[in-house]
Amino acid sequence: MTWLKTLADTYDVYAGLAGVEKNGQAVLLPISHSTLNAQIEVTIDGDGSFQEAKKLEKGRDVVTIIPVTEDSAARGSGIAPHPLCDKLCYTAGDYTTYTGEDKEDYFEAYIEQLRDWAESVDTHPMVQAVYKYLAKRSLIQDLLSSRALTPDEDGKLTDQFKIQGLGQTGAAVRFIVRGQDRPQEVWKNQALYERYDGYYRKKAGGDGLCYASGRTEACSDKHPSKIRNSGDKAKLISANDGSGFTYRGRFTTKEQAVCVGYETSQKAHNALRWLIQKQGYTRDESAIVCWMANRDMQVPDIMKDSVNAYGDMDDFDFDFDTIDLSKTSGAGAHDTGKYFARQLQLAVSGYAGKLRVDDRVAVIALDAATTGRLSVVYYDEMGARQYIDAILNWQQHCKWRRRIRIEKTEQKITCECTPSPREMALAAFGVQRSEWLEADAKLVRATVKRILPCITRSGVRIPDDIIRAAVRRASMPQTMSGSVWYNEVLCVVCAMIRFNYEEKYKEEGRTMEHFLKDNLSDRSVLFGRLLAVYDYMEQRAMFERDENGKVKEQRMTNAKRYWNAYSSRPAKTAQTIKQNLIAYERKLEGYELKQFEEWAEEIMVCLADGFDNTALSERYLPGYYLQMDNMKNAFQKKGEEQ
């Protein structure tokens, strides 16, 4: 129950924002309120007289904050009206007349409930106006006359015509009340929120011990849905099994299994919904969010790469527009990626300095257990300093040089950065079907869940089976385009290998910067380096251009074609690749061929005792990458000297 209490406390921190719409951002719902997608907007005056009505187009503006009861917020089948804005079958007294469908019980339950609120001490002039109008039982008649609804040839209301893709009979209605000053939307009125909260609290049931807060308060066995989005029916807490008795054998009543106070439940669910909409990760049917639990301060997004994790933070002192991406590495120019990384690191250090000793950070991950059930698959809570240290450790040791897009500026830059957990899952299990890698959503969710502790907890390494799966994908470059294989698979896998390598040898201080020097006798690393020599040798040979400046030959190298076989039977496959390279040697310039021969000879000398067909470990991939990087730098330096 810790997560419930933390979320309820978070609601108290941001309580002043409840019901406030600001810059088009998500709205923190007031207690006893939910949302509804409205299809029709009705305007009346303060005396309850109809003025006008219109259809609403599909979009963000249709989301309407409405007061709800415990029953209406959790309703499925049966009669459970919302107190103010609702569907036509509840709000229209002439629904049966125009549709032929008997819904009198729905309207009677709705109007009686509205009357009770309108005549209570917590009433509001707008509530009274809506009650006066709907009590006339002329809503559909007015909507037809104003052409907000369309009748059939018999003058009846049918689902032949649609609003926002829905049949007319199922349309939901919201109200605007014209006062002396200006029209007021009932779904945006702060005073109305407070009046309803006061009204509904007096309807609360018996008190009990709330398992989350530890206080005695009015408890509820019906809890909100719409957690991940406005159409989400899955619930985190549910106790409606009155026949199967899933708690039988452990408890005699559902209250013994779980008892949560109504106010605590409302605060926790509303805070969670708001956090997910505002700053959460919602993909692959999962929802993951990280937040500062005790005060209004943003935290890095652990579901993004190490650059974009800070892009949406208002209190992060770094201007992403200041990086001049036109200055690339080369003669007379600084390395943009390194400069970017240094400036970002300074900004991160400045952000960390703003943290207080008592700051707390929470991380929660939700997964859809069934269509009607959500489960908390991961939850962690820690001090903010501990969280930032964990994030920085992750970003420092699980990084690799690759090309990324800065979301805030839509620019692309090559720099050392940490891939996101989803990118790691796709590198391990993704298949390229279009321009990007795709994978089964369930498999991605499960993989991301297993990677999260590696980010937030010290000493937890990336699971070996995920590394092995990613290595298998990287060993099949022929199944992907060159850019996707290199940037989305090879570089991501190398980052994962680096993290586990540096975590393993943390006490010895061994890092990837010394990987080649520290592994001169590791046959997997040596075979990876040899593969890079053969691959780049053929690439350089294919750089030959015709009189128009175009590359004469463009195709996949032999090294990439035989890559998968090479990782399984390296010695035999290396000989095959070497034999196929003979035709390309004559295309190389003298100094190029000599340089490649020296690199290959150096590696073969070190491989003398290990040149066999034993399958390679994952270390051959960073060996390949680093050797390739060294060779490119060597030729670039040679070109600059000439």
Q: CA distances (Å), 37 to each of 143, 164, 197, 283, in order?
A: 18, 10, 21, 22
Whether the pLDDT of residue 209 is over 80: the answer is: yes
Band of residue 230 on the pLDDT scale cut at 50, 70, 90: confident
Top-confidence range, 249-263, 298-312, 496-510, 617-631 = 617-631
For the chain, percent helix, then strand, then coil, each to nearest 5? 45, 15, 40
Cβ atoms 289, 280 nearer than 8 A: yes
Q: Please report the pLDDT score of residue 202 as a whole number.
A: 87
Say how far apart CA 441 and CA 289 lie, in whole Å: 18
User: For residues 104 and 87, what is the distance between their CA atoms, to the nearest angstrom?
Assistant: 13
pLDDT level of residue 127 (50, 70, 90 thresholds): very high
Closest by alpha carbon to 398, among 425, 375, 421, 419? Answer: 419
Distances (CA, A) of 504 to 134, 248, 499, 525, 623: 70, 47, 8, 17, 18
Buried b (16+ CB within 10 A) or exposed e, 544-558: eeeeeeeeeeeeebb
3-state secondary structure of 397: helix
Please list, in sequence order, all residues whose beta carbon lies within 8 angstroms of the beta carbon of residue 612, skipping any fewer than 6 positions away: 570, 571
Query: CA-CA distances (angstroms) from residue 456 to 6, 137, 198, 357, 385?
Result: 18, 58, 41, 18, 11
Asked whether residue 210 carries a pLDDT value surpassing 90, the answer given is: no
Residue 264 has pLDDT above 80, yes or no: yes
β partners of residue 283: 286
| CB burial of residue 38 (10 Å; 0-12, 13-18, 19+) | buried
Q: Are residues 510 and 518 in contact, defined by beta-carbon separation less than 8 angstroms?
A: yes
Query: Taking 60 as the threshold, does the pLDDT of residue 605 lie above it?
Result: yes
pLDDT at residue 322, as a whole number: 65
Rounded distance between C-alpha atoms, residue 262 and residue 638, angstroms: 73
User: What is the rounded distance in angstroms from the CA atom of residue 566 to the CA atom of residue 531?
Assistant: 8
The residues pairing with 412 across neighbouring beta strands, listed in sequence order, are: 405
- Beta partners for residue 431, in sequence order: 438
Note the pTM of the prediction, 2 decimals: 0.86
Q: Give domain limits for the chain.
A: 1-18+204-279, 31-203, 280-510, 513-641
Residue with tokens 């103010």: 84
pLDDT for the residue 333: 40
Tell me: pLDDT of 221 over 60.
yes
The half-sphere exposure of 386 on its side-chain side, counting CA atoms within 13 A, is 13
End-to-end CA distance of the chain: 69
Token pair 């385009």 is found at 481
Beta-bridge partners for 385 = none
Q: Which residue has the tokens 């207690």?
A: 31
pLDDT higher than 90, residue 520? no
- 447 three-class SS: helix
DSSP 18: B
| Burial (CB count within 10 angstroms: exposed 0-12, middle 13-18, buried 19+), residue 355 | middle
Amino acid at 498: R
- Please check whether residue 311 is in contact with residue 323, taking contact to mean a CB–CB distance below 8 angstroms: no
DSSP character for 83?
S
- Which amino acid is residue 278, in one-letter code? K
Cα–Cα distance, 558 to 555 (Å, whole number):
9
Cα–Cα distance measured from residue 516 to residue 459, given in angstroms and rounded to the nearest whole number: 24
pLDDT in tens, 376-428: 999 999 999 999 999 999 999 999 999 988 888 888 888 899 999 999 999 99
CA distance 87 to 168: 10
* Lowest-confidence region among 19-33, 326-340, 347-361: 326-340
The pLDDT of residue 144 is 94
CA distance 464 to 311: 31
- Helix (H), strand (E) at residue 620: helix 620-641
d(CA 151, CA 97): 13
Lowest mean pLDDT among 175-189, 288-302, 622-636: 175-189
Beta strands in 284-398 (DSSP E): 286-292, 360-370, 373-383
Torsion from C-alpha of 62, 64, 69, 73, nearest 10 degrees? 40
Task: Fill in the DSSP letter of residue 297.
Answer: -
Q: How far from the centroid of its chain's Cα atoms is residue 622's Cα?
A: 29
- Give me the count of residues in the chain: 642
Could you tell me the CA-to-CA distances from 223 to 34, 227, 258, 332, 567 in Å, in that order? 11, 11, 12, 64, 54
pLDDT at 347: 86
The whole-angstrom distance between residue 66's C-alpha and the CA centroid of its chain comes to 27
Euclidean distance between CA atoms 286 and 49, whole angstroms? 46
In the predicted structure, residue 278 carries a pLDDT above the cut 60: yes
- Cβ burial, residue 609 (10 Å; 0-12/13-18/19+): exposed
**pLDDT tens figures, 462-495:** 999 999 999 999 999 999 999 999 999 999 999 9
Helix (H, G, I), strand (E, B) or coil at 264: helix
The type of residue at 148 is A
Is the distance from CB of 117 to CB of 123 less than 8 angstroms? yes
Q: Are strands 437-438 and 172-178 parallel, antiparallel or unpaired?
A: unpaired
